[in-house]
Amino acid sequence: MANVAVIGAQWGDEGKGKVVDWLASRADIVVRFQGGHNAGHTLVVGNETYKLSLLPSGVVRGKLGIIGNGVVLDPEALLSEIARVTAQGLKVTPENLRIAENVPLILPLHPALDKAREAARGEDKIGTTGRGIGPAYEDKVGRRAIRLCDLAEPETLSAKLDELLLHHNALFRGLGAPEFAKQELLDGLLALAPKLLPFSEPVWERLAEARATGKRVLFEGAQAVMLDVDHGTYPYVTSSNTVAGNAAAGSGAGPDAIGFVLGIAKAYATRVGSGPFPSELFDETGRLLGERGREFGTVTGRPRRCGWFDACMVRQAVKVGGVQGLVLTKLDVLDGLPELKICTGYRIHGETVKYLPAAFRAQAAAEPIFETMPGWAGSTRGARSYAELPAEAVKYVRRIEELVEAPIVLLSTSPERDDTIMMRDPFAG
């Protein structure tokens, strides 16, 4: 049986939490390999709703969760999340949660810098969550990050804070923002050390052992391909690589351990924050999709921009992300609409193209080319087999498969974990 890597195939918020939760029932280990607490997964289990940002979704299933080195970890956010889900009846201890010893930490100065920069950009702001994700990744590649393992070495930690503040306080002065004092940061980190270090280990070794003993691993991505720092709608992207290839680098598993790559896409499209969105709707239909789909950010609470399914963009994500099969979520949100549209290409400066180019102005100028399909009168909500779907809904799904050039292997018809139609088991490879 194969391992599985789950990634978003649009701009995030595709319903990955439910899918990962559903798949985790047959996995032994669930690994987060990138992003930070700017990502959120909502899991609905009976009458209980769990909102996770850092914890791998497998904790809800009682599976071993791993936070890989490709994540940027806010210690306070993690401890707060553990306390919240513990109050909901879940158990999170070093027995079922392990954190890579080399994971970089988000310190209080990172969100402060994030917010100061966004304020300085004014109308040209990127639309970050203000949680310090980008600045933390900058410190990682700048070789000045504080990592979890540093908390075990107070002298190392003190010296590294000197270097870190030399860089950051100069930025704060330039932005007219308050500077940070070393002692306060040092005291805070040393106080966190005994709470965090019991979770720490070289997780690459655990993953190698899991592979050797035939255990199934589920790699859980955050955000989505079109928010990838290299392949997304730059600069309106996240600060990490969101494609499945990063599951290896972000966890310490070899690239041949990733297994089946599963992309998640909504039956329509949404986006949070700034950036191009060719198929966006500004009319009553867009408002209706937002209301029916409860389109508000899990982390920020911001309303999501809504639009028609963009097959051109998802096809691009399939090719770049190495997606071998798609999950289509929230099909039920489209119930009762008289007609549906699918974006099949763009007109950019008079030229017709079937991909979103990298250039900023070309992305902004992209005008959608739509194909119209009839809607369906019946309901898809809660369907657990194709036989329960209206004929026009099946045609819509099949047309998406043709346009994105990837098979739809799972279909989600409500937030409930069991309202899922499976055409192919991703763990079967």
83: CB partners within 8 A, 6+ apart: none
User: 21, 37, 41, 110: which one is catalytic?
Assistant: 41
In this structure, are residues 24 and 57 in contact, taking their beta carbons and an 8 Å threshold? Answer: yes
2: CB partners within 8 A, 6+ apart: 259, 260, 426, 427, 428, 429
Amino acid letter, residue 144: R
Is 13 catalytic? The answer is yes
End-to-end CA distance of the chain: 6
Report CA 38 to chain centroid distance, whole Å: 9
In this structure, are residues 151 and 197 in contact, taking their beta carbons and an 8 Å threshold? Answer: yes
Q: Which token pair is 169?
A: 């306080």
257, 299, 276: which is closest to 363 by C-alpha? Answer: 276
Q: Within a 10 A sphere around the Cβ of 176, how many other Cβ atoms?
A: 9
User: 13, 74, 150, 228: which one is catalytic?
Assistant: 13
What are the helix (H) ranges across 322-359? none
- DSSP string of 211-258, one letter each residue: HHTT--EEEE--S-GGG-TTTSSTTSS-SS--STTHHHHTTT--GGG-
Q: Is 208 helix (H, G, I), strand (E, B) or coil?
A: helix
Catalytic residues: 13, 41
